[in-house]
Amino acid sequence: DTAVSQTPKYLVTQMGNDKSIKCEQNLGHDTMYWYKQDSKKFLKIMFSYNNKELIINETVPNRFSPKSPDKAHLNLHINSLELGDSAVYFCASSQDGTGSVVTQYFGPGTRLLVL
Amino acid sequence: GQSLEQPSEVTAVEGAIVQINCTYQTSGFYGLSWYQQHDGGAPTFLSYNALDGLEETGRFSSFLSRSDSYGYLLLQELQMKDSASYFCAVAGGYNKLIFGAGTRLAVHP
């Protein structure tokens, strides 16, 4: 009965590889997010989708490509991985509507280490 | 632009009360939220203030003053399990939450 789940939990890979992270929520929310948390624990939004539509695309290299097949799923594909991509990536979801964005439910995170 | 300021670290003893302050600057404002994150864990929603005043949820309370662009999280009767990072966050636009850098709270016996 996990609310927001992510796979994999850990990802260790070589520079230059391509990898994907998957996220699913069973809360019935319309909006999903990807965040990056760096080693200093700074949490920064990358993308936001509302009902499968991209609504926020922060200044993120185009090596990062999100995809939402339906409103319960949001995946993140990363091409040509770089050392600086090492971080924890969190998926989150919230209900639709102004103000609902403040209450977000986070997945357990995917710890990505690029060697 | 949008920015939030909060202390990087706070230390307290079990049973004490601690206040974590947050000042913000944002072009739009829908509310101030607080999240808790234990080491190795995910951020967890604690509280939300859209209007001025104090919101109480058990041992935790959150306060907002929109005129001062200021809020705080108050943790009472501190327990060891409260040791975590606490983030304030503002909704500065539709579907966008901006997080502060986090305050690491260490609770000692």
What are the CA-CA distances from residue B69 to residues B19, B25, B76 (Å)?
16, 7, 23
Identify the DSSP state of B44: E
pLDDT value of residue B19: 98
Q: What is the phi/psi pair of residue B85, to 5°?
A: -100, 140
Closest CA to A82 of A10, A8, A13, A7: A13
C-beta atoms of A106 and B87 within 8 A: no
In chain A, which residues have their Cβ closer than 8 Å to the Cβ of B1?
none
User: Do A30 and B94 touch, CB atoms closer than 8 A?
Assistant: no
A54 vs B68: CA distance, rounded Å: 34
How many Cβ contacts (< 8 angstroms) between chains A and B?
Answer: 64
**How far B10 CA sits from the closest chain A CA (Å)?**
16
What are the tens digits of pLDDT across the range B32-80? 999 999 999 999 999 999 899 999 989 999 999 999 999 999 999 999 9
**How far B78 CA sits from the closest chain A CA (Å)?**
23
C-beta atoms of B102 and A98 within 8 A: no
Lowest mean pLDDT among A61-70, B3-12, B27-36: B27-36
Mutate to test the interface with B, among A102, A104, A111 (most CBs of B within 10 A): A102
Mutate to test the interface with A, among B26, B95, B96, B105 (most CBs of A within 10 A): B95
In this complex, the residue of B32, B91, B102 whose CB is nearest that of residue A101 is B91
What are the tens digits of pLDDT across the range A35-54? 999 998 999 999 999 888 88
Binned at pLDDT 50, 70 and 90, residue B97 comes out as confident
pLDDT value of residue A21: 98
In this complex, the residue of A42, A45, A99 whose CB is nearest that of residue B96 is A45
